[in-house]
Structure 1
Amino acid sequence: MYRYGVEIEAVRTFVAVADAGQFQEAAVELGVTQQAVSKRVANLERSLGVTLFARTARGAQVTLDGQAFLPHARELLRAAERAAASVRPGERALRVDVINRRIAPAVALQNFYQAHPGIELDVVTLSDANFEIAIEAVRTGEIDATFRALPVRVKDLPGDIRVERVLDDPLQLLAGPLHPLAGARSLTPADLSGHRIWIPGIRPGTEWAAFYEELAETFDLRIDAIGPNFGTEALQDAIAGSDGLTTLVGSRDRYLWPASQDLRRIPLRDPAPVYPHSFVRRAGNPHPTLTALRRHLAATRPAGPAGAWMPSWARRRG
């Protein structure tokens, strides 16, 4: 139908006239003038190349062509309403971006959903997006919110962006049973110096690259991103059988592995490095579930470890 240049308001007007049987009553229902109704119907008839109404002294009678067109016109209006509802706040799912479905923010979202089972929630992962791309997606309405570390000052962000620090997740060392540090109950960052920490998938220009760069420089760590990223399972397999490979995970990240791998999650302390997750949204977003999620995150925010380390950009204010 769109190849004929049919406009949705013209279709809406046609249906209103067909239901009312008169142009004047349709005009009142639509809140426009009778002249506007007549013009819309005339344009629609011209676009379709048919006569939709027979004008009589008693009103507007739907022609045979009009009767054939009417059910399709109603379906078009229903489709238009469904399309609008799919993006209308309060009538669609809240769209929230997380970098990875295993990390602490994704776990927090799942806890929120379990506490509010009736809500509509769409958890998405923006492909190859750093914090700047994610913030622009928030601003354009592609997503409602994102969980990100922000290696910039809040005052340097766009004026319509709001940021709330919601989760400082302490890091742990993930090691296999053959690694010399595997038996430790806890470690300091200094204990990791000289050991290979493999984190494939670190991309330049991302906030996690900025985080690991400063972490490595501060504690003289060997963080290695060399090689393809075949996913979490492949990384766990490599660590399980190695006496030289480790990686870093968040204490609240959700990772599972077979008992045969015997992987060890070892807390880091004195100081405990934490990854600073912030909740980023657009000011004025009216989605009701967004408010409920913010309240949940504030109420369930875990206390960070005493004397934690975080990168300099996460410690800055303003």
Structure 2
Amino acid sequence: MDLDLAQVRAFVAAAEELHFGRAAGRLGVSQQALSKRLARLEAALGVRLLDRDARGVGLTEPGRRFLDPARRVLDQGDRAVAAVTCTGRPLRIDVWGHLYAPMRTVAQALDGAPGLEVEPVPGRDLPSVAAALLRGESDAGFGRVHPLPDGRDAGLTHRLVRLEPVDALLSTDHPLADRDVLSPADLRGSVLRYPAAVDRLDFLTRFATRFGIEERIGSTNLGLEHFVDRIRTDPSCFSLVPADCPLPDVPAAPGRPGIRTVPLADPTPLYAWSLLWRSGPEDADPHPQLGPLLRAFAEEARRSRWLEYDPARDWLPGPDEAALNP
């Protein structure tokens, strides 16, 4: 039999998301169209690939056996299309949120998918990356996505790929610096220092509002080393950094404070990293490498357990939680 790649793509998306709404959004089609493609594929194969019941979506045993070969079929199909439609231009991915070192996450996903031709490019911030995507100057973006005012993100879709625990960054002279773990509520008496202007860091603002951090101060973004030094020399303030974010070394010296990170718990705030791309039925996959890139991130998320979330234990800003459970 001849496989219909659109049907195979619908199955792989549903199998990876285990949610028809998320799978349909990822492909830029309606949920009804996705269901029809899956039904036609199952009818052609003569087996049921997915179980659907009140508890959600799950893979059947034939579905589990079909998944890996189906991914390989899609990869080969993408490469065949690229051979005649792409003139060797790699997929351009604009990356923002540089003080939180997003490239380490991109690199980890790409390491597990050799052969992807991707060109990471520094982006200034989410609004500028969104504008570049809508103009067709970029193929994808990577960073934290949040709603933009005036509908400036209309025509774009995104997919969460990593939820990273966040630590408190403190001077060693801070009154809480000797604690092994902190609750966000413990920080209410401290000043939250932003690494840029206050109105440009949505995650920190939502954190401060949720946990009652009233004193907030912005900074000029002169890089991570400069920002860490500002934290080091001000024992009244703190900031937040992803747990795996590499920090510059602060040499020890007599009488000179250092810095330390303290894990947060009860609840643990999570920073949401997403892939962002232009959506729409007519250009849902504008670059041949976008599909393989999405699958590379999905595979690494499964392998590294990047999307674990327990609402009784963790905290996500409202838009991030909605994206996880649309």
What's the TM-score once normalised by structure 1's chain length?
A: 0.62
Name the SS for the 1:179 alignment partner.
Answer: coil
State whether structure 2 residue 278 is matched by structure 1 residue 274: no
Unaligned 5+ segments in structure 1 are 1-84
- Is the CA contact 1:185–1:267 (under 8 Å) kept in the aligned structure 2? yes
Structure 2 distance, partners of 1:316, 1:238, is: 34
**Structure 2 counterpart of 1:246, which letter?**
F
Aligned to 2:308: 304
Q: 1:229 aligns with which of 221, 225, 228?
A: 221
1:253–1:92 CA distance, 2 compared to 1 (3 A): same
Name the SS for the 1:110 alignment partner.
Answer: helix
1:266–1:96 CA distance, 2 compared to 1 (3 A): same
Name the SS for the 1:294 alignment partner.
Answer: helix
Structure 2 distance, partners of 1:214, 1:304, is: 21
Aligned to 1:166: 161
- Is the CA contact 2:167–2:243 (under 8 Å) kept in the aligned structure 1? yes
What is the deviation of 1:112?
3.0
Q: Deviations over 1:85-104 (max 9, x none)?
A: 9xx74611221122134535
1:316–1:100 CA distance, 2 compared to 1 (3 A): closer
Structure 1 distance, partners of 2:169, 2:153, is: 37
| Coordinate RMSD, CA, aligned | 2.8
Structure 1 distance, partners of 2:204, 2:144, is: 12
Q: Deviations over 1:212-238 (max 9, x none)?
A: 222212111145233433221112122
1:108–1:216 CA distance, 2 compared to 1 (3 A): same
Aligned to 1:314: 320
Q: Which has the higher mean CA deviation after the structures are superposed, 271-280 or 184-193?
A: 271-280
Structure 2 distance, partners of 1:223, 1:117, is: 46
- Is the CA contact 2:285–2:291 (under 8 Å) kept in the aligned structure 1? no
Q: 1:177 aligns with which of 172, 177, 180?
A: 172
Aligned to 2:120: 123
Q: 1:103 aligns with which of 84, 94, 100?
A: 100
State whether structure 2 residue 189 is matched by structure 1 residue 194: yes
Aligned to 1:14: none
Structure 2 distance, partners of 1:292, 1:259, is: 43
Q: Deviations over 1:69-119 (max 9, x none)?
A: xxxxxxxxxxxxxxxx9xx74611221122134535321112234334554
**Structure 2 counterpart of 1:313, which letter?**
P
- Is the CA contact 1:179–1:243 (under 8 Å) kept in the aligned structure 2? yes
What is the deviation of 1:120?
3.2
Structure 1 distance, partners of 2:220, 2:198, is: 11
In the TM superposition, 1:148-159 aligns within 5 A as 148-152=143-147
Larger Rg: 1
Give the number of equivalent residue pairs.
225
**Structure 2 counterpart of 1:304, which letter?**
E
Name the SS for the 2:225 alignment partner.
Answer: helix
- Is the CA contact 1:100–1:106 (under 8 Å) kept in the aligned structure 2? no
What is the deviation of 1:160?
4.9
1:256–1:189 CA distance, 2 compared to 1 (3 A): same
Name the SS for the 1:171 alignment partner.
Answer: strand
1:185–1:242 CA distance, 2 compared to 1 (3 A): same
Structure 1 distance, partners of 2:270, 2:101, is: 12
What is the deviation of 1:269?
0.8
Structure 1 distance, partners of 2:286, 2:206, is: 37
Identity %: 27
Structure 2 distance, partners of 1:185, 1:305, is: 22
What is the deviation of 1:266?
0.9
1:158–1:231 CA distance, 2 compared to 1 (3 A): closer
- Is the CA contact 1:177–1:264 (under 8 Å) kept in the aligned structure 2? yes
State whether structure 2 residue 209 is matched by structure 1 residue 250: no
Structure 2 distance, partners of 1:130, 1:160, is: 14
Unaligned 5+ segments in structure 2 are 1-81
1:290–1:184 CA distance, 2 compared to 1 (3 A): same
What is the deviation of 1:138?
1.6
Structure 2 distance, partners of 1:193, 1:158, is: 33
Aligned to 2:32: none
- Is the CA contact 2:110–2:296 (under 8 Å) kept in the aligned structure 1? no
